[in-house]
Amino acid sequence: MVHTSILTEAFAEAVSQAGRHAREAALKAGHTVVLLDEAGRCVEEWPNGERFEIRLDPSQPRESHRVVLRKLTSSAD
């Protein structure tokens, strides 16, 4: 039996491109976006371009579970 995988480089690039498109569309629509950056930090990005390193505290109610650790600037990234 031959094992075939869909997890090719082309598939990985298509998934990455779809994620970038979704992020751009959400920001354009005025929504914040939370993502893991290249350094493994949890980052919240705002439509105005501001970025914050955050952590999520699951012990808090949904509307207050986001804890801002610091504002990210181009020099702090």
Q: Please tell me the pTM assigned to this model.
A: 0.75
pLDDT digits (tens, 9 = 90+) for 19-54: 999 999 999 999 999 999 989 999 999 999 999 999
Q: How many Cα atoms within 13 Å fall on the side-chain side of residue 34?
A: 9
What digits encode the pLDDT tens for the residues 51-64? 999 999 999 888 78
The helix or strand, by DSSP H or E, that contains position 21, with its residue range, turns out to be helix 9-28
Contacts of 21 by beta carbon, 8 Å cutoff, 6+ apart: none
